[in-house]
Structure 1
């Protein structure tokens, strides 16, 4: 057994056996049937599941590597993205060089689509896709774990409670990330903080940056970070499909002090995040960090400046900021009308009003907050003010 077998993605040699296991998994086939035939699944699922399994076996016959699987799945991913967006653009990807591996640290808004959009940009630039960090809290069903590990995902253990066990898990994770980049020359994607930024306030958790250094403590912190080619990535959604659910959660937390997730809530968030309307999406890849940062806290500030500074702001962000009761008096923020043309702005106003109308009045401040925070943060970065 290899050192990283408990967390690593599946290797090429494992692909055929894992695919066979997936296509024999009744729960997985049931979900596919429900997704493909929502009206017929309940009454005729017993008939449709074997037909779907047969069709998939036929389609994936001969697929015996991760790259071949990704090539096969890519048209479906592209179609899903095209159906749920008004277009995806990306910038800075030309700075990623073939033959180099990068530690891509990104803001986190959506469980599945954040890394999917990064993969989309990298794949269409003709570069190998990164390995993706995913929390074990999202891998409760065996077929989900199989699916994610087939797509170059590796496991981050978040459900461990004991301090000693946590330290061992972080040590292993740190060693794996370093091994992937330095030895395997395989890039890594990881979110800047655990959990999605539900209030739109993207901040880098210094503990994650500290973890990168854990397995190489005998080396200077700055040298390790440079060797990993730590690269900030800004993922900007015009509209968040889960914004109303996030506003509800923020409101409940603010009024009761806590929030308990319902059974299957993460599954619903994943489904809505994939299929829900996002408007335009932009992904920006910054340059690898070369600055001399003495520690993880200093580096976190640098990452925040890069991620927030390169975040693409859309008209809806400015419309929300104009409504926000907590606008920053130190900042000179132009209005949406000063920045965008009439047609674009009218379309944004119509969509924004629909979202506000669908949100209960008491929760609306938390909806506004999600779209206004990126404006505040970016203009504070531009003004050289502390976040």
Structure 2
């Protein structure tokens, strides 16, 4: 396939480029050290040979990531389920736009779930702030990621957004790939999942026709991701206190690494992914309303949010958290005393992990409870219609 040169710095590697990239990864001592720690019982040379047997990016995903990720589910979760019955045509290419809980696993789990349905895996939008080492950047591009450039000036940001939009439209219409993008930049630290208009504006920069027709070209599918437990909840609460106490606080690259590792190897309980239908029919309805240009993207964001909120899988912890936060027992019929005690023990354990010099326990407790209560609060709001 003839891929425009303008995408060279941001797109995933092509199958033709893989042998060279594999050689570079294999020769990188940092990459080798990580691989040997993750797969200690297989000689590195055997893994290197297996890499070179992969002729496509999907081959690589199936050979390496598929098994590793299902192993993670077995060790650190209590099941991973997927409901995409709302998709009437599973042969089309879609842009899955989802709430964002885990830096790595949200899109990674989606891909292995799609493999199990014989659907194509997703090309993943990933921020370059996470590509801390050269081997990480190479590996994610082997793993079908395209790069979101961050930390740019206003003019550069505009150019980068337009380039990314052109790439997304090219990937859907010419490459016939599925895509995954988070509904906002970064994870929602309080789990109050809201689509940023700016994400939709970027997506509508390319394509043909008006803004709605351009978005329809991407076949947008809202995706709800529900983790029973978020292993990074205590890190998110810690960051919220750090930002409260220091207006200039910024996470370091090492903080991102700790978040990635904690997300991978922390206990997640039950995990559920659920899609709504493709939005194109509802986008036509928004078009018929003839809204002012300034209101179109807000209306679409609210529509995506409603679908994501309606499709949450709620667990006992969400109901317990809401009652503890509100100081009542409104949802007591949704959980047992044992489940309540279990969640409270979990909560205290997570707070105990937070190492801050001026640790504000009531604040931290409130923030973690809010993370678990917000999906329920938003679900109930969306259910009103």
Q: Same fold per TM (> 0.5)? A: yes
How far does the alpha carbon of each residue in 1:154-200 deviate from its partner, in whole angstroms, 9 at most, with x for none? 01111222x22111111111111111111221111000000011111
CA contact (8 A) 2:323 2:330 kept: no
How far does the alpha carbon of each residue in 1:344-365 deviate from its partner, in whole angstroms, 9 at most, with x for none? 6665455345435556623211
Superposition pairs for residues 249-264 of structure 1, below 5 Å?
A: 249-264=239-254
Name the counterpart of 1:355.
350
Secondary structure of residue in 2 paired with 1:264: helix
Name the counterpart of 1:6.
9
Measure, in 1, the Cα distance between the counterparts of 2:85 and 2:348: 34
Secondary structure of residue in 2 paired with 1:259: coil
Give the CA deviation at 1:97: 3.2
The verdict on how the C-alpha distance between 1:96 and 1:31 changes in structure 2, with shifts beyond 3 A counting, is farther
Secondary structure of residue in 2 paired with 1:324: helix
**Partner of residue 271 from structure 2, selected from 266, 278, 281:** 281
Secondary structure of residue in 1 paired with 2:181: strand
Name the counterpart of 2:120.
128
Measure, in 2, the Cα distance between the counterparts of 1:229 and 1:326: 43
Superposition pairs for residues 194-343 of structure 1, below 5 Å?
A: 194-216=185-207, 219-289=209-279, 290-291=281-282, 292-293=285-286, 294=291, 295-325=296-326, 334-335=330-331, 337-340=332-335
Measure, in 2, the Cα distance between the counterparts of 1:188 and 1:150: 15
Aligned-pair RMSD on alpha carbons? 2.3
CA contact (8 A) 1:93 1:125 kept: no
Measure, in 2, the Cα distance between the counterparts of 1:189 and 1:173: 13
Name the counterpart of 2:62.
71
How far does the alpha carbon of each residue in 1:19-73 deviate from its partner, in whole angstroms, 9 at most, with x for none? 1211110111122344456xxxxxxxxxx9xx94313123334222112112211
Secondary structure of residue in 2 paired with 1:95: coil
Q: Unpaired runs of 5+ in structure 2?
A: none
Q: Unpaired runs of 5+ in structure 1?
A: 38-47, 328-332
Are 1:175 and 2:176 counterparts?
Answer: no
Name the counterpart of 2:105.
113
The verdict on how the C-alpha distance between 1:57 and 1:96 changes in structure 2, with shifts beyond 3 A counting, is farther
User: With structure 1 as the length reference, what TM-score do the two structures score?
Assistant: 0.87
User: With structure 2 as the length reference, what TM-score do the two structures score?
Assistant: 0.88
Moved more, 359-368 or 195-204: 359-368
Name the counterpart of 1:27.
30
